[in-house]
Amino acid sequence: MRIALIAHDRKKDDMVRLAGQFHAVLSRCTLMATGTTGGRLQREVGLAVECLLSGPLGGDLQIGARLAVGEVDAVIFLRDPMTPQPHEPDINALVRACDVHDVPCATNLSGARLLLQGLIVE
Ligand SMILES: O=C(CO)COP(=O)(O)O
């Protein structure tokens, strides 16, 4: 399973906690992440993660481009719905790409837990 992990700034602590809780299943996956999220996951959770560009610099678009050619199987994107983002069009493009290609995309913690639990029982 190739999973993309992305969290906006106010959701990064949640992402780190979530990844710690699901460390066993995530460590069996191929992981990629936007830059800052990925750095925290490497340092604080000890996961092997490929770090792409930071979101505002094009990281969401990089993940979207991979997804469009079948290189991403699931996306966990902990979005901050309360803070405007300068790269909102990139965020929308990634979520749209998930819908276009029918790739599971969890945009909040509860959805992310369900997605990861699904991987455990697989
Ligand atoms: O902005 C982001 C996603 O839209 C996240 O990017 P970072 O992980 O680099 O903070």
CATH number of the structural domain spanning residue 14: 3.40.50.1380
Residue nearest to atom 5 of ligand 1 (CA): 55
What value does the mean pLDDT take over residues 41-60?
98
**Confidence at residue 121, expressed as pLDDT on a 0 to 100 scale:** 75
ipTM above 0.85? Answer: yes
In which domain, by residue range, is 116 found? 2-121
Q: What is the number of domains present in the chain?
A: 1
Q: Determine the distance separating the centroid of ligand 1 and the alpha carbon of 61, expressed in angstroms.
A: 11
Q: What is the DSSP letter of 108?
A: S
- Tokens 């790739």 belong to 103
What value does the mean pLDDT take over residues 91-116?
98
pLDDT tens profile 23-32: 999 999 999 9
**92-100: long-range contacts, CB 8 A cutoff, minimum separation 24:** 93/60, 93/61, 93/64, 94/6, 94/60, 94/61, 94/63, 94/64, 94/67, 97/64, 97/67, 97/68, 98/67, 100/68
Q: Which amino acids are annotated as binding site, given as ranges?
A: 8, 12, 34-37, 54-55, 87
Closest atom of ligand 1 to CA, residue 33: 8
Share above pLDDT 70 across residues of the chain, in percent, rounded to a whole number: 99
Report residue 76 as tokens. Answer: 């966990």
Q: Which residues contact 39 (CB under 8 A, 6 or more apart)?
A: 51
pLDDT band at 120 (very low <50, low <70, confident <90, very high): confident
Cα 33 from Cα 87, distance rounded (Å):
16
**Confidence at residue 122, expressed as pLDDT on a 0 to 100 scale:** 67
Residue nearest to atom 4 of ligand 1 (CA): 55
List residues with catalytic annotation. Answer: 60
